[in-house]
Structures are given as C-alpha cells and as structure tokens.
C-alpha cells in the first residue's frame, strides 16, 4: 500500500486535479486580472515528509509555486471580462484592473490509514496560502492568509505513485483557496461598484 521507507517522490502540476467546476457570475469586472509572479515564485518547490506514521520515512517534492500561480490564474479569470494573465513583477498595464499576488506559505500532509481501519489510505493535505489583491495604485482590496484545513482526495488501496495522490489533495486545497479569494474580490468590488473609482461592474448584456 505504501512504498518502502526512504523513498523520495516527486509530483507535477496537473490542471486536471483542479477539477472541472468553475464559478459563474451574473456580472463581471471589466479588464484583466494581472497575476504577478516572479520566476522564483513560479518555480518554488516544497519538500517534506508526511505527518502520518504511514509513509513516515518518505519525502515528497511538489512544484507549489506553479500550482498556486495556476490556481490563481484559473480562479480570477472567472470574475474579469478579459480574464487573467500571469505577469512579471511591475509589468502591469492600464488594461489590468487588479494585481493578484499569490504566495505559498506552508503545507502538511498525511497518508491517513487510520481513518480506513488500515484497509485503505486517504491522502490529506492542509495548506496555507497568502493572497494579496491590489488596485493599480497599490490600494489593497483583499489581503488574506487562507488556511485550507484538512482536504482529502479519494482513498486508495494500492498505488505506484503515492506522492501523486497527495498532489491531488494539494491541488484541491489550493484551488479552493484561490476561488474563495476571487469570490471575496468580486464581492468587495460589487459593494462599491468600482475599482478605485475607475471601473464599474458589467452585467452580462454589457460584456
């Protein structure tokens, strides 16, 4: 059910692990969301061992920067009429309505076998992400540290890639946080009707 002690696993970014659900809004914000991420941020990796006894002697490396950046891109494009794009720091233009700065903070994970009385393993990840969303004048719209809590992916009995099963839980946790942040931004701008007095909310028939 679990590879031998001392194994090191490496998982990759996989957009299918985000799931197919998207959020549909009756109104969208004009312009484009700029997801600001340097190469260091996009290329950040995280390596650690699980907190569980099961798999305790193994290590997993995840491309956390790529996964977090792509989750922000996917989530914020739902609320802007022009979608979203990834930019280098400081490379925003007048076509951008907001600047989104996602940052990975921490993660713990476990191969939870106790939940299934030892017959199966439930991959579980807990993630902390910081998301700062600003207008072009650097006025803060949302600046939050989000804690996912324990997020599970589907239990399995045997697998040749246990690290990939944890990756599924990590993707699921991160996209949940990103969508929550995007929804907060939409609600915040909807209350005032603009971004820094410059942008109004567009209804569907105005898009």
Evaluate whether residue 1 is within a structural domain: no
Look up the domain containing 41 and give its range. Answer: 8-199
Q: Tell me how many domains the chain contains.
A: 1
Residue 35 and residue 101: Cα distance in Å, rounded? 6
Q: What is the pLDDT of residue 23?
A: 79
* Domain assignment present for 170: yes
Please check whether residue 161 lies inside any domain of the structure: yes
At 17, is the secondary structure helix, strand, or coil?
Answer: helix
- The three-state secondary structure class of 60 is strand
Query: How high is the pLDDT of residue 204?
Result: 38
**pLDDT given for residue 189 in this prediction:** 85
- What is the number of alpha carbons within 13 Å of residue 198 lying toward its C-beta? 13
Report the run of H or E that residue 133 belongs to, with start and end.
strand 122-134
- pLDDT at site 2: 52
Residue ranges of the chain with per-residue pLDDT less than 70: 1-6, 117-118, 192-207
> In the prediction, which pLDDT does 56 show?
86
Q: How many CB atoms lie within 10 A of CB 53?
A: 11
CATH number at residue 124: 3.40.50.10610
Reported as a single tens digit per residue, the pLDDT across 149-181 is 999 999 888 887 889 999 999 999 999 999 999
Q: Has residue 205 been placed in a domain?
A: no
DSSP string, 32-54: EEEEE--HHHHT--EEE--SSST
Report the distance separating Cα 166 and Cα 204, nearest Å: 39
> What backbone torsions phi and psi does residue 150 show, to the nearest 5 degrees?
-75, 115
Please report the pLDDT score of residue 195 as a whole number: 56
């Amino acid at each position: 059910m679990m590879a031998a002690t001392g194994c090191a696993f490496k998982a990759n970014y996989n957009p299918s692990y985000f799931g197919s659900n998207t959020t549909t809004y009756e109104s969208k914000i004009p312009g484009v969301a700029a997801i600001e991420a340097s190469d260091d941020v996009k290329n950040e990796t995280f390596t650690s061992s699980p907190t569980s006894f099961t798999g305790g002697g193994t290590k997993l490396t995840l491309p956390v920067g790529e996964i977090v950046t792509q989750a922000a891109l996917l989530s914020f494009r739902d609320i802007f009429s022009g979608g979203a794009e990834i930019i280098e720091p400081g490379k925003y233009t007048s076509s951008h309505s907001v600047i989104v700065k996602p940052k990975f903070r921490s993660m713990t994970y476990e191969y939870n076998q106790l939940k299934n009385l030892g017959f199966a393993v439930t991959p579980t990840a807990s993630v902390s992400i910081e998301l700062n969303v600003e207008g072009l004048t650097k006025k803060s719209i949302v600046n939050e540290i989000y804690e996912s809590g324990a997020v599970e992916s589907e239990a399995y009995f045997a697998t040749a890639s246990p690290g990939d099963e944890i990756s599924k839980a990590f993707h699921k946790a991160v996209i949940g946080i990103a969508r929550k942040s995007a929804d907060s931004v939409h609600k915040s701008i909807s209350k005032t009707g603009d971004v820094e007095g410059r942008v109004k909310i567009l209804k569907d028939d105005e898009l």
